[in-house]
Amino acid sequence: MNIALKLLPLALFVAIAAFLAKGLSLDPTQLPSPLIDKPAPEFTVARLGREPGDPSDGDFISQDMLGQVWVLNVWASWCGPCIAEHPYLVSLAQQRPIPVVGLNYKDEPGDAQQWLARYGDPFAHVLDDRDGDVGLDWGVYGVPETFVIDQSGRVRYKHVGPVDEVGLTQKLIPIIDQLQKETS
Amino acid sequence: MIPELGHFALILALCTAIILAVVPMLGSFTGHSGLMAIARPAASAQAFFVSLAYACLTWAFISHDFSVLYVANTSNTSLPLVYRISGVWGGHEGSILFWCFISALWTGAVAVFSRSLPQVLLARVLAVLGFVSVGFLLFVLLTSNPFERLFPVPLDGASLNPLLQDPGMAIHPPMLYLGYVGFSVAFAFAIAALIGGQLDTATLRWMRPWTNIAWMFLTLGISLGSWWAYNELGWGGWWFWDPVENASFMPWLVGTALIHSLAASEKRGVFKAWTVLLAVLAFSLSLLGTFLVRSGVLTSVHSFAADPTRGLYILLFLGVVVGGSLVLYAFRSHRLNSTATYELVSRETALLLNNVLLVVACAAVLLGTLYPLFVDALGYGKMSVGEQYFNAVFVPLMLPILFIVGLGAMLNWKRDKMKGRSGPLLILAVLSVVTAGVLATQLLSFSFAAVASLALAIWITASTVFGIVHRIRNKRKRLSAVMHTPAAFWGMSIAHVGLAVFTVGVALTSIYTEEQTVRMEVNTTHTVGGYTFTFAALDEVRGKNFNAIEGRFNVERDGADVGTISAQKRFYDVRRDTMTEAGIDAGFTRDLFIALGEPLEGGQAWSVRIQTKPFIRWIWLGTIFMGLGGLLAALDRRYRTVSSRSKAAKTSTGKAKSALDSMVAGSMASTATATDTPRSSGA
């Protein structure tokens, strides 16, 4: 066997090791959204009624939100991590006077209403995206995901996975405060 | 006090490991017998100190010493004793200490059982093992000290992850580690062979039982993990191609290639450089697996805390160990010439083909596992590689492997003639396909994939039986021929039948599983796969450290009672975690699987996942056969005779005499083809 062939395993290993080294500085849970700093997809979707047995509560039109900073949280009653995340959303809605909009993603309206009754309802609007059409436009990768949208309707931040203490106090709230300052 | 003692023992272990890694290796180059003689006592001392440290940590768990940070993070007063003991390896710090513990035990075992090896070889083997130990002990002491104190001392701990509070999960990591670390022995032999520039039959014979045992542990460890996932995760699946699963499966694939290549090298003197490369790769992949699991580079359902410092350390260590070994391989392996020849139609060819296929399969798994990382590192965004890729790539590779397993078992070493063989081969092949076709169409609904898999499983079994018959038929005293058939042969046969059983399980489960997720209230019934499930009762149950809601289901088939299945949803007290404890009615030919999903309408009804899974037990039954085969092969008398014989001559001190030892060991057992003569140690 010639030496080039003998060096092949070493070469492959060096290549893999280089990628692994690069991988150490990457965070696999950080999913950058192609939407960052781009105009958020516009949509009109039915609002979910807040009482059990009340399936619909008019339409939500995303352009209506222009002029204010708002948060879009993608959640579902079938999503386990959403339960862990929920107290922080409740806390966010209490701490900052901005609309937190819940996109109820691929869910049954009845399940969603019960879930909110059980864990608390921080949402200004709950949007019924039972077919996942809106989620598709927003490039939802998994549930939960949280977007921050600025006054001009651009997506400024995306949080993947459940928001926790650190995510709330060190990411979401500072970003929201920063965006609110931008206009005033 | 006890934790400090453990910490101190760990530091002493590091010191002895450094001595073990350096001094005997120096001695082996200078020919200084006194330096080399340090290897064995140093290995024993290291085993002692690491065991002491491990015992101290175990004591901290048993005695609820929450002043130790690691104990406070992973244990709790309400945790049963058995899980306090298994909790020692339930978190990051402890599991790395556990790795050191196993590694120290393996090293100590090599020191004890390998006295008859030439002194130079033994010195180098133990030094390499010592070097690996240094790496892991430093890792523990620098980045993951399990003895770190916590002040103020909490009244109670945070408790063990409930996923790990299961008998299967409690012994799954030790099994995996015994396998991973076990490959370090074959690795050390390979490195010693590369340094010395020779790999003789006696050394190869030494490597075989060690590698077989490591492979057995890895087989059983992976199998347990799969069994656990099936019972605990509540998805009804048994393999998910998750990065962490792949991390253990890759060394297994290469390890499987290694035990076969070792057999060919030992018996026939072929593929020596290839064997050495496989030994290096098997251990490298074990280290890579550790890196992937511990560094948080990949996301996985197995939630391990990610820590870049730890990742960087393991990567550096990986670079030194694997990079160094492969450099050594590139420049030294040409000296490991294979002297024997073989022809195209021979068992060697079959083994080589399967070896290559196994390595290709491993490369495919590696590519799929690391692909998201490659894409991310190159800046092309995030992506994940799913089951579709793995199944699409892996299954087509497995089919020829299964075929060649049967073929190889029927061919002779060195050369064989297709002329005399093609008759029985053809008959067996036709018989397999026909039997499979009849079975699949009569007992199940027809599916091409099912017929193909069944045919391959029957083919392997038939060729194994053929091999046994062939071995005995020509002997005059058949009974004594059975008795004198070596354990290694029985081991191989059992493992191959295990592979056949495994194939049946995988194929029939994946093709014929029926699954439905339905909304059920108490006293309603639902029918899946011919079984009628009645939701009989819903109760609250109190366990030692959890509350559970338990659904009981009565099962009937054609009006006959099959049994009762209880499925639980558990809520653990301390960590506030929810766990699905699936209810399974296990059977030889089918499992009935029920998992409680979520409560609907405030607990009036539940979403219930019901599955019927034909032959799923055969998957784990097959792996038990494989493990048993590996064990039996390792216990072959041939390996033991070498050690008992050489014990008689073990009093050697000088290098000339130790070289003589190895000659004795080498020549006495060489029934067939000891083509290499062991060189004297200084040469």
Closest listed residue to residue B322, CA positions, set B206, B179, B190: B190
- Contacting residues of B for A15, CB less than 8 Å apart: none
Report the range of poorest mean pLDDT among A13-22, B172-181, B653-662.
Answer: B653-662
Pick the residue of B326, B329, B572, B580 with the most A CBs within 10 A to test the interface with A by mutation. B326
User: What is the reported pLDDT for B171?
Assistant: 86
B143–chain A Cβ distance below 8 A for any pair: no
User: d(Cα B309, Cα B551) in Å, to the nearest integer?
Assistant: 46
Closest listed residue to residue B132, CA positions, set B333, B318, B288: B318
- Contacting residues of B for A111, CB less than 8 Å apart: 598, 600
Edge to edge, what strands does the sheet with B583-585 contain?
Answer: B514-521, B605-614, B590-600, B583-585
Q: Is the pLDDT of residue B655 over 60?
A: no
* CA-to-CA separations, B434 to A140, B400, B440, B511, in angstroms, rounded: 50, 19, 10, 19
H/E segment holding residue B215:
helix B201-232
User: What is the reported pLDDT for B658?
Assistant: 40
Contact A10 B284 (CB under 8 A): no
Tens digit of pLDDT for each residue in B578-629?
778 888 998 898 999 998 877 777 677 888 889 999 999 999 999 999 999 9
- Phi/psi at B444 (nearest 5 deg)? -130, 180
> Confidence band (pLDDT; 50, 70, 90) for B681?
very low
Q: What is the ipTM of this complex?
A: 0.81
Mean pLDDT of the A55-77 span: 86
Q: What is the mean pLDDT of chain A?
A: 83
Contact B598 A28 (CB under 8 A): no
Q: Is the pLDDT of residue B683 over 70?
A: no
**pTM for this entry:** 0.79
Share of chain A above pLDDT 70, in %: 90
Is residue B69 within 8 Å of residue B120, measured between CB atoms? Answer: no
DSSP B382-421: -----HHHHHHHHHHHHHHHHHHHHHHHHSPSS---HHHH
> Confidence band (pLDDT; 50, 70, 90) for B656?
very low
DSSP β-ladder status, B546-557 and B531-542: antiparallel
Tens digit of pLDDT for each residue in B28-38?
999 999 999 99
User: What is the reported pLDDT for A141?
Assistant: 67
DSSP A66-77: TTS-EEEEEE-T
User: d(Cα A39, Cα A142) in Å, to the nearest integer?
Assistant: 21
Q: Is the pLDDT of residue B418 over 90?
A: no
User: d(Cα B317, Cα B314) in Å, to the nearest integer?
Assistant: 5
Report the range of poorest mean pLDDT among B45-54, B175-184, B292-301, B524-533.
Answer: B292-301
User: What is the reported pLDDT for B114?
Assistant: 83
Q: What is the mean pLDDT of chain B?
A: 85
Q: Which residue has the tokens 């926790």?
A: A164
Of residues A57 and B618, more confidently modeled: B618
Of residues B79 and B63, more confidently modeled: B63
Share of chain B above pLDDT 90, in %: 46
User: What is the reported pLDDT for A27?
Assistant: 60
Minimum-distance CB partner of B602 among A25, A29, A114: A114
Tens digit of pLDDT for each residue in B325-348?
999 999 988 888 777 788 888 888
* CA-to-CA separations, B7 to B59, B132, B141, B174, in angstroms, rounded: 13, 19, 8, 22
User: What is the reported pLDDT for B674?
Assistant: 33
Structural domains of chain A in order of their starting residue, each with its CATH number: 29-183 (3.40.30.10)
The H-assigned helical ranges of B144-200 are 167-196
- Distance to chain B for A55, nearest Cα, Å: 15
